[in-house]
Structure 1
Amino acid sequence: MGAVPHDVLDTARGPARVDTDQPSGPPRALLVLGHGAGGSVDAPDLVALRDAAVSAGLLVVRVTQPYRVAGRRAPAPAGHLDEAWSAVLTVLRQRQPGVPLVVGGRSSGARVACRTASATGADGVVALAFPLHPPGRPERSRAEELVTGVPTLVVNGDRDPFGVPEPGPGVRVVVRAGERHDLRGDPIGTAAVTLDWLRQHGWAAV
């Protein structure tokens, strides 16, 4: 696994940081991951997924949103997040033409990836700890964001106070027993579930 020192890409919402990890050979796919609202790309589930995916031949890029690069914890508005993410993906696709693109992330990052999947030309979406609704507010469902138009994997814990989505057309939902929103209990297991799904679609080596 070859790590490249992080890069900074300019967006209309400020500089975003990208951390890139290269597989040993030509990449089978490009996997781009975003972080949670107040978290970082070093969250245990994202790091475990990175390690598993790189070992299976994917080029993995973890994107830090401009508001986090600037040192803020409160997330930017959804439109700003989507705009910065899309700008980064434009550059990454130019760097890896012709390689299948899988987008994803955890929590807020998963929502951004879902909302922009069609516009960015993604081939698939990985949504870790997708926050179906605010805690205690099931009537404020965000289920429509999972209608991405491409194969989508959701991995949530059964104790997640943000809820667990239902599967639907093109949307596979894996519920992990004993896990909460942070998916810290067994990040390697979460990565393994995700890698199985990536293999099913031909985006990861067996």
Structure 2
Amino acid sequence: MIVDVDEFEVATPHGPARVALEAPNLCFGLLVLGHGAGGGIEAPDLLAARQAAGLFAVARVLQPYRVARRKAPAPAAQLDESWACVLAALTDRFPDTPQIHGGRSSGARVACRGAVSADPAPVGVLTLAFPLLAPARRDGTRPDRGPEIDAVDDAGIPVLAVSGENDRFGVPSPGKHRRVVTVRGDHSLKAKGLVRDAVASWLDELVPERRRLSGRVD
């Protein structure tokens, strides 16, 4: 399926965010994806998720600090606020459309933090290379970011966490509403085919109608 990419900017209090939107004519949902701290929206795992989307619109979101060509990530509060602005703009474009929020690494953290208060609430959250442990501090401690992803599970929102089996930042554990898939590789998640298949299978279960109408078979 070939779909044109519509690129546009969304105003936020921290500068414009940029959205690359691909939307099929027949759309059963909206998948919104954020990038990693020092990367962009062309990361292999984000492109794999885009390929898996099928009859979903896919919006890949470039945070304002990256639009401004800064590599150092903005503070979490700014990331979250900019993300919320983009979600509001996309909801206006896709009213009454089920949304799945997600991203890779830092973007996965942003999606998790926003999911529990988003309006409308997402029907699922996709985390790619969720960094369970922060980089080591000078004293050797590594803060645990598990509460961010656990809060989504506690809210009853289905989560798919895809991580490399050798991810130096750790791998989330399964939860009541959280499926964890480990694939070959590390934090970069370059095994695009494995990531794509894991995401496609989860989306088919989350929205069964998309499997039937896209002609997917086991």
User: How high is the sequence identity, in percent, across the aligned residues?
Assistant: 46
User: What number of residue pairs does the alignment pair up?
Assistant: 201
8 Å contact from structure 1 (residues 138, 163) kept in 2? no
Query: C-alpha offsets along residues 11-53 of structure 1, whole Å, 9 cap, x if unaligned?
Result: 1111000001122x32111000000000000001111211221
Using the TM superposition, give the Cα deviation of residue 139 of structure 1 relative to its aligned residue in structure 2, in angstroms.
4.8
Using the TM superposition, give the Cα deviation of residue 135 of structure 1 relative to its aligned residue in structure 2, in angstroms.
4.0
Give runs of aligned pairs for residues 109-120 of structure 1, distance below 5 A. Answer: 109-120=107-118
Task: Give the alignment's TM-score, normalised by structure 1.
Answer: 0.93
Change (3 A) 1:138 1:193: farther
* Structure 2, unaligned runs of 5 or more: none
Structure 2 residue matching 1:68: 3-state secondary structure: helix
Query: C-alpha offsets along residues 76-133 of structure 1, whole Å, 9 cap, x if unaligned?
Result: 0000000000010001011101110000010000000000002222111000000000
Change (3 A) 1:51 1:138: farther
8 Å contact from structure 1 (residues 16, 69) kept in 2? yes
**What is the CA–CA distance in structure 1 between the aligned matches of 2:48 and 2:85, rounded to whole Å?**
26
- 2:96 is aligned to 98
User: Is the deviation greater in 96-105 or in 139-148?
Assistant: 139-148
> Is 1:193 the equivalent of 2:215?
no
> Is 1:47 the equivalent of 2:47?
yes
- 2:161 is aligned to 154
Structure 2 residue matching 1:122: 3-state secondary structure: coil
Residue of structure 2 aligned with 1:86, choices 81, 84, 97: 84
Query: Looking at CA atoms only, which structure, 1 or 2, has the larger radius of gyration?
Result: 2
**What is the CA–CA distance in structure 1 between the aligned matches of 2:48 and 2:34, rounded to whole Å?**
14
Change (3 A) 1:162 1:99: same
Judging by fraction of residues, say which structure has more strand: 1
Residue of structure 2 aligned with 1:181, choices 183, 187, 201: 187
Give runs of aligned pairs for residues 6-85 of structure 1, distance below 5 A. Answer: 6-23=7-24, 25-53=25-53, 56-85=54-83
8 Å contact from structure 1 (residues 127, 155) kept in 2? yes
8 Å contact from structure 2 (residues 166, 186) kept in 1? yes
* CA-based RMSD: 1.4
Structure 2 residue matching 1:112: 3-state secondary structure: helix
**What is the CA–CA distance in structure 1 between the aligned matches of 2:162 and 2:49, rounded to whole Å?**
12
Query: C-alpha offsets along residues 159-197 of structure 1, whole Å, 9 cap, x if unaligned?
Result: 000001111121111111x3100001x112101101100
Using the TM superposition, give the Cα deviation of residue 4 of structure 1 relative to its aligned residue in structure 2, in angstroms.
2.8
* Structure 1, unaligned runs of 5 or more: none
